[in-house]
Structure 1
């Protein structure tokens, strides 16, 4: 599954990012070639060149060959590669690991992750989906998640002097902001990733794993409480009930200047400012508030893990490259250069001074991934969560609608329907 959340996170660098499905060769002097598939726009040419030069200087027998892949159609392409002519390292979306692990084509990286990579300190939203039945197949590389982007001028005019730290404070502030021709918040009715965070805060799940028997869980009291909060917040603006954040693009709506808040990745600010240069310097960021001030709200973590195929020609050398990319040195370079969240909370200090990324890193400590089922892609392809949200926002009975959506999720996770 493509992690669409990253689209906003890379907005600032996409104009100079790697293009096409070509390759970037190394110096050509190595005795062995390590082939690495990276996804388009994940890193800048500058980062990749710096890493390649440094790594090949330290490992003169190795030549790095980076091949850039498109997100579209990547699932079948990776599965095909795992069966035969596999590269040595592949970057995959964090929520894709379960699907690839089910194929039996991934190398067990548990030993390396425990011994050399400090796995006890990884962001849970990257580490958990990389681990299947206690085996670590995916090594966390980088993350991105949603924050609240707000219009400082509208906050000041409404007398909201500080950003909210709790849900209650958030509702109170948004009610004050929702006046005099302004929307307190623009929240589309089908922004299900945001709903997921509210459900997790309540102790609920999108789906539960009962020994491999996955069942939809939107109809639990906890999940219903998360939907109730979503409904309360969404009503404090004019977001559509029957569309997601891309229809229309919420950045376009925010750029009109009469919206106080949206929930998006910090990179969306660049798109907003391109649409409306008058908003430059007026945008701020804060983590999605939690139920108490002790911690921010839960968020969906998008990002990438690194995997090593069993059939890779250079498995050992590939693992060494993974270790380097996941190391503190190159995590720091990547986070600063790309405005990503590094793979460990202990490295959050490296992006201090970048207000948006710092807010994102704070929220990432409460990051989660979607249910770790190899069939979850089927759920997202049909996505019964979206019409469920619309039905509730348009007056449907929450319990009834949640039960129907949960039954459909159960069928999709079972591979039927």
Structure 2
């Protein structure tokens, strides 16, 4: 009771202030943090831990690294347990937050978000999936999204002086590049994340909620326009209609030297150069173009949020960790260290010196996420969007195939009964 009273006295809002221990009290409260493998370097975590424990003399961090494989069930089990040995803070994929918020097992961090953490500047693709109604459960940590990775030398040879900024210019440039044995762009037929961006640009969506029921919406005029642009762009290369970007891995295809562009996260350039060192210095990046030059294209924003389980035995300490990790100081440091996009649009200048990350940050400002429902995982488990794309690219009627895919999405999003 004495230590809890001290903690309460030392808290301003939700952030533990580091006002120190009572004389003779040397015990530290352990805060267990689950972070995912490769989200942060060991050196970053060492420096963060030292700084945090110096500022919070009554707390000790126990950071445990988790594997992505099997993490959903592991987190669900941790949220259900009554044991005090579970995690106090958990890193989760931004689109996974609805899975864990369902059932009221996460702490509502809306007040802290508004009062202390500057939620109005958060990237929408991280912030929106972290909400349930008006309540904020997931706190944005870092983002990553697709950009166009291109061959600077091939652009120059084709007389393209600068990267395109509109869709029309992009199509024209890609058509010019698609000659002499070189693919203008390698775009796999089932890259549904990229298609999502084109659909969002047109004002459409993959699914929408109406009267508390989710329905697939690939058959709307806006979504069909997005698919038509995808079809036109994909035709300016030899990407397979019946496979996604990992089959075969597009880094290897690009490294073959006969591709002018791919759509991927900037970090893929490192794998490309490892496979073909001759491309070092020849690779550039630009944001996915939008319909107009003044607004880049919408992109699917991946990344991570931090959540606090409701069964934590010290919510104040847990929110102190969240506030520190997602605050400007350490969030920008993480972005620089790991080539991520910071969690706020106001922090984009922190990565302006890195071409690929800077292009990613421009797109992230207009990023989106998958439909905000726990059942979306059921859609991806047997993804009808991929089959829809393949059928259209092989010549089937887009409207008929979109209606078929939309029905399957609606069925997958139906709530479990019984």
**TM-score when normalising by structure 1:** 0.92
Match in the other structure for 1:338 = 338
Match in the other structure for 2:188 = 188
**Aligned mates of 2:134, 2:190 — CA distance in 1:** 33
Match in the other structure for 1:52 = 49
Please state whether the residue corresponding to 1:66 is helix, strand or coil. Answer: strand
Runs of 4+ residues over 3 Å off in structure 1: none
Please state whether the residue corresponding to 1:90 is helix, strand or coil. Answer: strand
Cα deviation for residue 332 of structure 1 reads 1.2
**Aligned mates of 1:266, 1:212 — CA distance in 2:** 38
Cα deviation for residue 87 of structure 1 reads 1.0
**Aligned mates of 2:141, 2:111 — CA distance in 1:** 17
Output aligned runs, 1:217-236, within 5 Å.
217-236=217-236
Cα deviation for residue 416 of structure 1 reads 6.5
Match in the other structure for 1:150 = 150
Cα deviation for residue 274 of structure 1 reads 0.3
Output aligned runs, 1:165-184, within 5 Å.
165-184=165-184
Match in the other structure for 2:63 = 66
Match in the other structure for 2:405 = 405
Going from structure 1 to structure 2, the CA distance change for 1:70 and 1:392 (only over 3 Å counts) comes to: same
Q: Is the 8 A contact 1:93 1:302 kept in 2?
A: yes
Q: Is the 8 A contact 1:199 1:225 kept in 2?
A: yes
Please state whether the residue corresponding to 2:341 is helix, strand or coil. Answer: coil
Cα deviation for residue 211 of structure 1 reads 3.6
Give the stretch that moved more between structures: 108-117 or 74-83. Answer: 74-83
* Structure 2, gaps ≥5 residues long: 1-25
**Aligned mates of 1:279, 1:416 — CA distance in 2:** 51
Please state whether the residue corresponding to 2:381 is helix, strand or coil. Answer: helix
**Aligned mates of 1:239, 1:415 — CA distance in 2:** 36
Match in the other structure for 1:82 = 79
Cα deviation for residue 30 of structure 1 reads 5.2
* Structure 1, gaps ≥5 residues long: 1-28
Cα deviation for residue 103 of structure 1 reads 2.6
Cα deviation for residue 313 of structure 1 reads 1.5
**Aligned mates of 2:66, 2:381 — CA distance in 1:** 21
Query: Which string of whole-angstrom CA distances, capped at 9 and with x for unpartnered residues, describes residues 306-355 of structure 1?
Result: 00011012211000110001100001110100000000011000112100
Match in the other structure for 1:315 = 315
Output aligned runs, 1:14-413, within 5 Å.
31-84=28-81, 85=83, 86-413=86-413
Q: Is the 8 A contact 1:30 1:60 kept in 2?
A: no
Cα deviation for residue 407 of structure 1 reads 0.3
Going from structure 1 to structure 2, the CA distance change for 1:110 and 1:350 (only over 3 Å counts) comes to: same
Cα deviation for residue 131 of structure 1 reads 0.7
Cα deviation for residue 285 of structure 1 reads 0.2
Please state whether the residue corresponding to 2:304 is helix, strand or coil. Answer: strand
**Aligned mates of 1:212, 1:163 — CA distance in 2:** 43
Q: Which has more radius of gyration?
A: 2
Query: Which string of whole-angstrom CA distances, capped at 9 and with x for unpartnered residues, describes residues 266-320 of structure 1?
Result: 0000000000000000000000000000110000000000000110122110001
Please state whether the residue corresponding to 1:108 is helix, strand or coil. Answer: coil
**Aligned mates of 2:204, 2:255 — CA distance in 1:** 34
